[in-house]
Amino acid sequence: MRHNPQICVVGSINMDLMIETTKMPQQGETVLGQSFAFYPGGKGANQAVAAARLGANVHMIGAVGKDEFGASLVDHLRTEGIHTQGILMSDQKSTGVANIILSEEDNRIIVAPGANYAVVPEMIDKHEEIIRSSDIILLQLEIPLQTVLYTVKKAQQFNIPVVVNPAPYQQLPEELVRNVTYVTPNKIEAAAMKEEAYFAAIKEKLVITLGKEGVVYYNNNTATRVKSFKVDVKDTTGAGDTFNGALVTKLAQGEPLSDAIPFANAAAALSIMKTGAQEGMPTLDEVNKFIIERNG
Ligand code: RIB
């Protein structure tokens, strides 16, 4: 490892309420599910945990409510070794929750953002020192877009690379996309981005995650596809988050995309072998061992 990268994740923290079912209910229908459990989640928190398990020194800027979910989620982040002084405990809003239905090896998610919308630009000013001392900043779209834009500007001021995971998708202003280092949409988000007038001009900033079909990125107007690893799938929730956390960990160590992507693919593959967004997220040794086993 070249050095312990300093990563700042600005993003969401949710409690995931996960129900497993073999049959997805139709509109107006009730079905009986197989199991229910609470898991720590939120795209921001998931990405922070993924990076921390891989050896990064991670600061998180986010918000939870002053409630039981909030307290246990912040405690959990601390036990993962994540610095939590950038997390606000709001007495105005309750902790964000995600309702996740797990079925047929895939999921459907509805997020009630709650306190995640208390992550306002003033919080970025308040924690400017964290931004300034980071090797890379990682953002998603479960906090106000205004804050995402503000963070990108702040990072630019200090010349710090930024990766934006545009999930859940919202139309991104051209200014934002032009000012970040990479954008990491999945298939659905990339299709929405293709509709934007600026798409051709920003193609080389894209790292598109396609699940089983691997990852595509562009270089000199040529698309390169990096294969994913085949594993027994338990739960794909958080696979994209693991990919993003692993990707920025490698980029912050100065590795090129061509090396960072296969590493992040391996981390994501390991993460989907357990139920719960963060349960299967691997350590650095686990990823390295897996890569050696698979590459022979
Ligand atoms: O990407 C998976 C995450 O999306 C879940 O943990 C859930 O909280 C939602 O934010």
| Domain residue extents for the chain | 6-21+36-295
Residue 105: predicted pLDDT: 79
Residue found by looking up tokens 């998603």 in the block: 140
CB-based burial label for 121 (10 Å; 0-12, 13-18, 19+):
middle
Q: How far apart are CA 239 and CA 82, in angstroms?
A: 20
| Helix, strand, or coil (residue 67) | coil
Pocket of ligand 1 (CB under 6 A): 12, 14, 16, 41-43, 46, 98, 109, 111, 142, 237-238, 240-241, 277
40 bridge partner residues: 15
Q: What is the pTM of this model?
A: 0.97
Residue 179 has pLDDT above 50, yes or no: yes
DSSP for 253-266, please give it.
TT--HHHHHHHHHH
pLDDT tens figures, 62-117: 999 999 999 999 999 999 999 999 999 999 999 999 999 999 878 899 999 999 99
Residue 2: predicted pLDDT: 53
Residue 24 has pLDDT above 50, yes or no: yes
Best probe residue, ligand 1, of 73, 102, 109, 275 (max atoms within 8 Å of C-beta): 109
For the domain made up of 6-21+36-295, give the CATH fold.
UDP-N-acetylmuramoyl-L-alanine:D-glutamate ligase (3.40.1190)
User: Using CA of residue 197, residue 202, residue 208, residue 214, what is the dihedral sign?
Assistant: positive
Quick check: is 67 catalytic? Answer: no
Residue 296 has pLDDT above 90, yes or no: no
Q: How far apart are CA 263 and CA 50, in angstroms?
A: 12
CB of 9 closer than 8 Å to CB of 155: no
Residue 255 has pLDDT above 70, yes or no: yes
Shortest-distance Cα residue to atom 8 of ligand 1? 42
